[in-house]
């Protein structure tokens, strides 16, 4: 199987997920990526020392890790105890975590995030309304731990003049991530958060240059890409997109056209990767049948393609072997198995994830206490 550069895609006889891959300047030793996972253990929006162990447990030499969604400003939060990267204190707090990953030879990208209307006044400075592309509010939603129901406040529609300020928050956050030592950033353009609130036609009801046509709806996302690329360079910028998901009331009438328009536009900026969520991951928590596929986007995108959403070992191997993706990001399996690539290698049984502790705030339980596989001697 040949890849886009005409190189051999996977060496014969090897486990496809465990073959090396060159992502821009980064030589990855395997293709099993830690997906971004919100864990809500960053008290007061400041990353905590217990994250050092959590991330270093999941680090392999030349393996790629994507940090949990990290707020770009004081209006970016919608969940308790999520980390930020807009203050000096937060940047300093990330440094020992990033250092620990680097000490074990990992490559670490920071996912930068603004929730937009997926918030309520309790998370906002001075109890103000959350910001969005729209004034339409979201109905209460069951969170993916299957327990909590999140409540949202009616958002305030950003004025046209305010939008460049939010773009600038992403630029500064990217700069801060590099200052903290991260190898790059992933723009969170998925799952119904602020960027998707602009991209998707079931949310965006604007009449200015940021609403209406597909080009206009994608303008905000692409202005962020451009600003961040100009700030830290395209070889350190990735983006996560989920055109097919309908989380947080964010669906689109033509997700394939949206996905294709985005990847074709991203090619102009030569960013390092595009990370896409599988159509089967349409509603959170389970795979569903979908007539769609990421293949048109994978084919149209010139950089590294990462797929995520409901993967197990076998279908990850097949996706790589068939050249349907370059890398596979694992969320829940990696959360529960700190040594996931090793377990894939030796076909060890996997720990089961515990939904109830996904978002609890304990610094150990459900966080760093998932056992490593013990090889019998
Ligand atoms: C506990 C938890 C937290 C998550 N947090 C994030 C996040 O911060 N950013 C993001 O883009 N996706 C997030 N996701 C989605 C995952 O990155 C991943 O795409 C999803 O779990 C599907 O992959 P999986 O089947 O391998 O778990 C989260 C998922 C879970 C279960």
* pLDDT, average across residues 181-188: 98
* pLDDT, average across residues 50-66: 98
pLDDT over 50 (residue 225): yes
pLDDT of residue 139: 87
* pLDDT, average across residues 8-33: 89
| For the chain, counts of helices (H) and of strands (E) | 10, 15
Q: Which helix (H) or strand (E) holds 227?
A: helix 214-232
Phi, psi for 336 (deg, rounded to 5): -95, -10
**Are 119 and 78 contacting, i.e. CB atoms less than 8 angstroms apart?**
yes
Span from the CA of 331 to the centroid of ligand 1 (angstroms): 5
Question: Whole-angstrom Cα distance, residue 224 to residue 41?
Answer: 27
- CA of 25: how far to CAs of 35, 60, 184, 218, 231, in Å? 20, 18, 11, 28, 18
Residue 367 among the catalytic residues:
no
pLDDT of residue 144: 67
Span from the CA of 347 to the centroid of ligand 1 (angstroms): 23
Question: Whole-angstrom Cα distance, residue 11 to residue 33?
Answer: 19
- Give residues with Cβ within 8 angstroms of 62, minimum separation 6: 20, 26, 27, 28, 29, 30, 105, 106, 107
* pLDDT, average across residues 111-120: 97
- Quick one: pLDDT band at residue 282, thresholds 50, 70, 90? low
Tell me the pLDDT tens digit for each residue of 367-377: 999 999 986 55
- Quick one: pLDDT band at residue 287, thresholds 50, 70, 90? confident
pLDDT over 90 (residue 72): yes
Atom of ligand 1 nearest to the CA of 240: 11
Contact 111 CB / ligand 1 (< 6 Å): yes
Atom of ligand 1 nearest to the CA of 144: 31
Contact 277 CB / ligand 1 (< 6 Å): yes
- Quick one: pLDDT band at residue 140, thresholds 50, 70, 90? confident
pLDDT over 60 (residue 181): yes
* pLDDT, average across residues 246-250: 92
pLDDT of residue 74: 98
Q: Which of 55, 144, 83 is nearest to 356 (CA)?
A: 144
* pLDDT, average across residues 97-126: 98
- Quick one: pLDDT band at residue 149, thresholds 50, 70, 90? confident
Span from the CA of 141 to the centroid of ligand 1 (angstroms): 16
Span from the CA of 376 to the centroid of ligand 1 (angstroms): 32
Atom of ligand 1 nearest to the CA of 330: 26
Contact 340 CB / ligand 1 (< 6 Å): no
Pocket probe mutation, ligand 1, options 17, 31, 32, 36, max atoms within 8 Å of Cβ: 36
Average pLDDT, the chain: 94
3-state secondary structure of 365: coil
pLDDT over 50 (residue 5): no
Tell me the pLDDT tens digit for each residue of 289-331: 777 899 999 999 999 999 999 999 999 999 999 999 999 999 9
* pLDDT, average across residues 27-50: 98
Contact 238 CB / ligand 1 (< 6 Å): no
pLDDT over 70 (residue 6): no
Q: Which of 115, 98, 63, 1 is nearest to 306 (CA)?
A: 63
Span from the CA of 209 to the centroid of ligand 1 (angstroms): 32
3-state secondary structure of 366: coil
Q: Which of 193, 261, 359, 367 is catalytic?
A: 193
Tell me the pLDDT tens digit for each residue of 82-101: 999 999 999 999 999 999 99
């Amino acid at each position: 199987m040949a890849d886009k550069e005409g190189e051999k895609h996977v060496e014969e006889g090897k486990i496809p997920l465990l073959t090396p891959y060159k992502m821009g300047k980064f030589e990855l030793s395997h293709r099993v990526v830690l997906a971004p996972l919100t864990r809500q253990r960053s008290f007061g929006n400041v990353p905590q020392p217990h994250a050092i162990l959590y991330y270093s447990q999941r680090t392999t030499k030349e393996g790629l890790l994507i940090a949990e969604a990290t707020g770009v400003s004081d209006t970016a939060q919608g969940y308790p105890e999520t980390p930020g990267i807009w203050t000096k204190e937060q940047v300093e707090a990330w440094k020992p975590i990033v250092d620990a990953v680097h000490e074990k030879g990992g490559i670490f990208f920071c996912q930068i995030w603004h929730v937009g209307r997926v918030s309520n006044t309790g998370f906002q400075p001075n109890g103000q309304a959350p910001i969005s592309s729209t004034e339409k509010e979201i109905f209460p939603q069951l969170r993916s731990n299957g327990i909590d129901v999140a409540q949202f406040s009616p958002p305030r529609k950003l004025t046209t003049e305010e939008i460049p300020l939010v773009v600038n928050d992403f630029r500064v956050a990217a700069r801060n991530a590099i200052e903290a030592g991260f190898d790059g950033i992933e723009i969170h353009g998925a799952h119904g958060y602020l960027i998707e609130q602009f991209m998707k036609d079931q949310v965006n009801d604007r009449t200015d240059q940021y609403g209406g046509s597909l080009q206009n709806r994608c303008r905000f996302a692409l202005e962020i890409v451009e600003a961040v690329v100009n700030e830290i360079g395209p070889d350190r910028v990735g983006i996560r997109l989920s055109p097919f998901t309908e989380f947080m009331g964010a669906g689109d009438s033509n997700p394939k056209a949206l996905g294709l328009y985005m990847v074709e536009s991203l090619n102009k900026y030569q960013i390092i990767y595009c990370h896409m969520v599988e159509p089967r991951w349409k509603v959170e928590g389970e795979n569903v049948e979908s007539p769609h596929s990421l293949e048109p986007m994978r084919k149209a995108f010139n950089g590294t393609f990462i797929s995520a959403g409901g993967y197990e070992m076998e279908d990850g191997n097949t996706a790589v072997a068939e050249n349907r993706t370059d890398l596979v990001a694992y969320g829940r399996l990696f959360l529960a198995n700190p040594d996931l690539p090793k377990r894939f290698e030796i076909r060890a049984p996997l720990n089961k994830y515990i939904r109830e502790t996904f978002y609890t705030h304990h610094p150990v339980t459900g966080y760093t206490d998932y056992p490593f596989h013990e090889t019998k001697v």
